[in-house]
């Protein structure tokens, strides 16, 4: 049984000059789900995140959150509606400490979890007074996740959370994401190239290629889908 969609991307297109980054894509994420969004480089995954979070305006189509359009919500108000994200290339306030970065999330939207709780939960207590700049990459990614969690999101968009992490860190991340979906009662849309991670975590997966949605299904279904195999082999060739 599929849950009622918390997020609906409805026939969204986005062009950059001659490049069609999104070509009429539709996808949905049900409350409580972990949904994967995969596809080869340049498929449009980050563009989709930017449209959902209002950093980028679609040329056509609609994005609805909890049944209401997001297209009239300003970018800085998206987080107040309960949507948080992390970025493909970590984007922290480098001149601020770890705790200050996390506090920015809590200011945006207060929830039941304190900044201290979130910092502890994400496992960055020992660096809480350090500047974000200069911390190891894996730690910076945790700080960004903590900032997102501190805003008590209903939906969190993670853009390649495993990118740049070592094997052990990826294993930890998988266990962490599974746990925090339950502990924070959050819905997750996950862009990821690490197939082991996304296929092990996701309830369902949407697949993009050249701005089009080419498949949707359970991890098992999409892995067996000839169009998906072709998209990945085609890029590798």
Backbone angles phi, psi at 44, to 5 degrees: 115, 10
Question: Which of ligand ATP, Mg ion, none sits in contact with 39, Cβ below 5 to 8 A by type?
Answer: ligand ATP
Q: 30 or 163, CB closer to Mg ion? A: 163
Question: Which of Mg ion, ligand ATP, none sits in contact with 101, Cβ below 5 to 8 A by type?
Answer: none
Number of DSSP helices (H) and strands (E) in the chain, helices first: 9, 10
The b/e string for 134-160 (b: 16+ C-beta within 10 A; e otherwise) is ebeebbbbbbbbbbbbbbbbbbbbbbb
Closest CA to 27 of 43, 42, 19, 18: 43
The mark string for 6-45 relative to Mg ion (x by CB under 5 A, - otherwise) is ---------------------------------------x
Question: Which of ligand ATP, Mg ion, none sits in contact with 35, Cβ below 5 to 8 A by type?
Answer: none
Site for ligand ATP (CB under 6 A): which residue of 3, 11, 16, 68?
16
Report 52-91 residues binding ligand ATP (CB under 6 A): 88
Distance in Å, CB of 78 to ligand ATP, minimum: 18
DSSP letter, residue 43? S
Q: How far apart are CA 69 and CA 51, in angstroms?
A: 12
Q: How far apart are CA 237 and CA 228, in angstroms?
A: 14
- Is the distance from CB of 70 to CB of 49 less than 8 angstroms? no
Task: Tell me if 86 contacts Mg ion by CB under 5 A.
Answer: no
Distance in Å, CB of 42 to ligand ATP, minimum: 4
Q: 47 or 140, CB closer to ligand ATP? A: 47
Closest CA to 211 of 91, 37, 33: 37
Distance in Å, CB of 114 to ligand ATP, minimum: 33
Task: Tell me if 235 contacts ligand ATP by CB under 6 A.
Answer: no
Task: Tell me if 39 contacts ligand ATP by CB under 6 A.
Answer: yes
Contact region with ligand ATP (CB under 6 A), list: 35-43, 58-66, 67-75, 141-149: 35-43
Joined tokens for residue 126: 């020992």
Q: 38 or 118, CB closer to ligand ATP? A: 38
Site for ligand ATP (CB under 6 A): which residue of 44, 105, 161, 174?
44
Site for ligand ATP (CB under 6 A): which residue of 1, 41, 72, 74?
41
Q: How far apart are CA 34 and CA 178, in angstroms?
A: 9
Task: Tell me if 45 contacts ligand ATP by CB under 6 A.
Answer: yes
Regarding beta strands 204-209 and 212-217, do their DSSP bridges make them parallel or antiparallel, or are they unpaired?
antiparallel
- The residues with which 37 forms a beta bridge, in sequence order, are 191, 206
Residues that bind ligand ATP (CB under 6 A): 16, 19, 21, 39, 41-47, 88
């Amino acid at each position: 049984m599929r849950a009622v969609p918390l997020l609906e991307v409805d026939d969204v297109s986005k062009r950059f000059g001659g490049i069609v980054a999104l070509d009429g894509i539709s996808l949905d994420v049900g409350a409580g789900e972990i949904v994967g969004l995969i596809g080869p480089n340049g498929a449009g995954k980050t563009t989709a995140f930017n449209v959902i979070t209002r950093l980028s305006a679609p040329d056509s189509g609609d994005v609805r959150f909890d049944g209401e359009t997001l297209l009239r919500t300003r970018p800085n108000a998206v987080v107040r509606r309960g949507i948080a994200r992390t970025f493909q290339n970590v984007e922290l306030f480098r001149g601020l400490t770890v705790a200050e970065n996390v506090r920015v999330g809590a200011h945006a939207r207060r929830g039941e979890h304190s900044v201290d709780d979130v910092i502890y939960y994400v496992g960055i207590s020992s660096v809480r007074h350090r500047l974000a700049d200069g911390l190891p990459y894996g730690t910076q990614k945790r700080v960004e996740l903590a900032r997102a969690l501190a805003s008590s999101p209903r939906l969190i968009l993670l853009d390649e959370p495993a990118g740049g992490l070592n094997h052990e860190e990826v294993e930890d991340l998988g266990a962490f994401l599974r746990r925090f979906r339950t502990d924070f009662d959050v819905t997750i849309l996950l862009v990821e190239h690490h197939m082991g991670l996304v296929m092990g975590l996701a309830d369902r997966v949407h697949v993009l290629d050249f701005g089009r949605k080419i498949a949707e299904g359970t991890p098992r279904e999409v892995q067996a889908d000839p169009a998906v195999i072709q998209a990945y082999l085609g890029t590798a060739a």
